[in-house]
Chain A
Amino acid sequence: MNRKLLCLLPAAAVIFYAVKAGAGAPIPPPAGGAISGKVTYTGTPPKMKPIDMSKEPTCAKQHTTPVMTENVTTGPESSLQYVVVYISEGDSGGAAPAETVRYDQRGCQYLPHVLPMQAGQVLQIFNDDQTSHNIHPLAKVNPEWNKSQPAGSLPIDTKYDKPEFIPVKCNIHPWMHGYFVVLNTSHYAVTGPDGSFSLKGLPAGKYTVTAWQEQYGTQTQEVTIGATETKTANFTFKALPY
């Protein structure tokens, strides 16, 4: 080949891609691999119970069918919902993101039931109901506090600086329960109704993936991925009827 042409090729490639990027071409996917999978159970899980909200009519009337307890929420094909899957080792963590996470008290329920966030990330707690709530996160490592929010009051802005699994209860409505999951990593996911999760944007390396379910505790797996590899890691918890 002509030597001059050979030297032009890299330049052309650079120019080609620069133009493509500058022309608004689709951004390529984040660098790195992903770990995804499904969380399921074996055995017989406990039956979730309907929650009686009759003491709070303004909330009870918002639900045409009763809300169920959520401590072991299952889905089709033995899937487990509300399992937090996250990188517990191998990820440096980094600074807390600027976005806030949002927690709602609506229909006398905590939404979402399990809320993961990064240590130091700002959390905003809203009361969308016509009744007062008094949210009481039962932290042991972080400071424990509780705060009343009368109907129509401003959201609470707070944050947690240390990683912890914090049960959250309402001091006024005993059935309201949820979790703040404060993590050191930005790579986390909560399984949906089908039990699946995906941790994306992971640089190549060796990771420990942890799955946490509020009743069954944690399970870990070690996964090594390449730069753009997606590996599967499934978790199975043993469920008991009681």
Chain B
Amino acid sequence: MNYSPTQLGSDSMHEVSTHPVAHQHTAPTGFIRKYVFSLDHKVIGKQYYGLALVSVFIGMVLSWLLRIHLAYPDYHIPFLSKLSAAGAPGGVMTPEYYLSLLTMHGTLMVFFVLTNAPFAAFGNYFLPIQIGAEDMAFPRFNMMSFWTTFAAFVVMMASFFVADGPPISGWTAYAPLSAVGRDAGPGLALGQDLWAISIAIFCIASLLGALNFIATTLDLRARGMSLMRMPYSTWAWFVTSVIALLAFAVLLPACVLLILDRVAGTSFFIPAGLVLSDRLQPHSGGSPLLWQHLFWFFGHPEVYIAILPSIGIVATILPVFTRRPLLGPKALIGSMVAIGFLSYMVWGHHMFVSGMNPFSANIFSIPTLIITIPATIMTLLLTASLYGAKMRFDTPALFCLGFISVFISGGISGFYLAQPSLDTYLHATYFVVAHFHFVMAVASLFGVFAGTYFWFPKMFGRMMSESLGRWHFWLTFLGVYCVFMPMHYLGLVGNVRRYSAFVDDYLAPLLPVHRFITIAALLTGAAQLIFLWNLIWSRFRGPVASENPWEATSLEWSTTSPPPFDNFGGKHPVVNHGPNELGVDGPDGTDFLMQTAAPKSS
């Protein structure tokens, strides 16, 4: 049923539209339709955010347990034996339980946090609004995407409660360890099946979501919203969706093949002649390297799926607080597209020492190093945009600055790993752990924090506490460096990763460094409770927010806080400017022009 435009008629900011718009559904009634099975992209965005929030806290607690066990192996962790009597008798983790918690930590964080929060959550909420649409192109697909993701989450969490516990093969689930079944060790029976099923379901959800984002971006932009006038965050979500469409389309069949090897006796990934648990395995003809190729063909683009939206969010937010446009809008967008394109050429850099022909290492190394160029361009554009500005240092801005710093740190360590001659030493050490935590766990998450503090007023109509936000920022910024910078040094010593205990001769002297990291991790984790409290408290008690408290330019700030059901109250915005009109003469003595402001008189 069509939603008819209101009687206000048209003006330079709005119009009665003949332009294609998404008015496929009416305002919902009833609690279930409004808040549970909602077709409204804003509700779905919040649902994704909520799921990501739950996942990140579980993932964080898991990391605490891992770090405590590493630094204090004899310590009896209270309540852990209640979570798993077999996994942690008396509160001391068994080696297999450590690995299963590690697997779940990585899986939850990469899939349910870093794909959900910056991309699915904020993208769902703000992509349609930023392009001036009433909703996504396919609201029903959108609802299905979320609930399918939720189903994947439930299946994943179920692995905690089966007899053998979650799988122990890491979030990368290399075959044949993950493929032969229970003979390979504890946790590799039902837990691994549930993992593979959950990820397959997650792939389906992500594919639906990606399709939706692409169709919406291409077809539902308001009048005047050319592609080059889209905010950087929208560009980032769009490029990420294209990446996601191709990447998840490869992971899904990979998981299906894995499940078949496990339950149907196929041998996609298992060669002949393997003996596990003193039993000759009844498989032959498969290739473990095939799993690695399929997985990393997804896995590398996946990490760009995790970081690009945050880059877009930071690029959108930073100018609002420097009160001037970002330097080089075309270069930034071009870099995002270049990264998206190059991300498909580098997967073999996870496999330099995998036993693949060593010559291929040279081949994969080149695009891996080349991808540094657009990443450097973006970092420099963000940094140079600060030059000569006078900044407003509200919390969103602080997290943008923090993002740039940690992205530099994470990017630099990538430079080492991109070179096969160095990777031969650094592969599978804590150097790698430092690298991906800096770029994913920290940089990407800083983008999410910046987005949260920035968009919370729009989503909930209330401001978050600025002082709590500052505490959160300073403690987190210092804390993450204390946690992850020392891991580079551990990597240089050759400290191997995914070890549940450090018993080797050369590892035992490193325990004091691990203790420092553990304590820093616990303190930094505790600082996140400030954020959680801020979210909850501000939701109900925060000061009421105006329509545009930050004086930003993009379309979400031209509607109410929170927006009405169809985003613009029956009006369809007409766009006359890009998002970069900051530091210009605006109406009423302001220094900016919103995208819907009247065109500049020539």
Contact = CB atoms under 8 A, between A and B. Distances in A.
Direct A–B contact in the complex, CB atoms closer than 8 angstroms: yes
Interface of A: 57, 131-132, 134, 136, 138, 146-148, 150, 152-154, 167, 169, 171-172
B90 A154 contact: yes
B278 A153 contact: no
Contacts of A150: 92-95
Given A131-B503, A153-B89, A154-B89, A148 B94 contact: yes
A171 B95 CA distance: 11
Contacts of A57: 505
Nearest to A130: B503
B86 A147 contact: yes
B602 interface: no
Interface in B248-295: 277-278
A153 B93 CA distance: 11
A171 B96 CA distance: 11
A167 B89 CA distance: 25
Contacts of A153: 89-90, 92
Per DSSP, chain B at the interface is loop
Contacts, number: 34
B185 interface: yes
19 contacts: A57-B505, A131-B503, A132-B94, A132-B95, A132-B501, A134-B96, A136-B277, A138-B278, A146-B186, A147-B86, A148-B97, A150-B93, A153-B90, A153-B92, A154-B90, A167-B278, A169-B278, A171-B185, A172-B95
Given A132-B95, A147-B86, 14 more contacts: A132-B501, A136-B277, A138-B277, A146-B186, A148-B94, A150-B95, A152-B74, A153-B89, A153-B90, A153-B92, A154-B90, A169-B277, A169-B278, A171-B185
B95 A134 contact: yes
B164 to A, nearest CB: 10
B277 A148 contact: no
A134 B96 CA distance: 10
B568 to A, nearest CB: 60
Interface of B: 74, 86, 89-90, 92-97, 185-186, 277-278, 501, 503, 505
Contacts of A132: 94-95, 501
Interface centre among B74, B92, B505 (most CB of A within 10 A): B92
A131 B86 CA distance: 18
Contacts of A152: 74
Nearest to A174: B278
Nearest to B96: A148
A73 B185 CA distance: 30
Interface centre among A132, A138, A169, A171 (most CB of B within 10 A): A132
A172 B186 CA distance: 12
A131 B504 CA distance: 12
Contacts of B278: 138, 167, 169
B14 to A, nearest CB: 66
A191 B469 CA distance: 75
A98 to B, nearest CB: 25
Contacts of B90: 153-154
Interface centre among A131, A147, A150, A167 (most CB of B within 10 A): A150
A147 B186 CA distance: 9
Nearest to B500: A132
B599 to A, nearest CB: 71
A154 to B, nearest CB: 7
B298 to A, nearest CB: 31
Nearest to A147: B86
A148 B500 CA distance: 13
Nearest to B87: A148
A131 B90 CA distance: 17
A112 B90 CA distance: 27
Q: What are the 8 tightest A-B residue pairs by CB atom distance, in nearest-first order?
A: A148-B94, A150-B92, A153-B89, A132-B95, A138-B278, A148-B95, A148-B96, A150-B94
A153 B91 CA distance: 10
A18 B186 CA distance: 61
Contacts of B93: 150
Nearest to A136: B277
Nearest to B86: A147
Nearest to A172: B95
B96 to A, nearest CB: 6
Contacts of B185: 171
A154 B85 CA distance: 12
Interface centre among A146, A154, A167, A172 (most CB of B within 10 A): A146
A136 B96 CA distance: 14
Contacts of B92: 150, 153
A169 B185 CA distance: 13
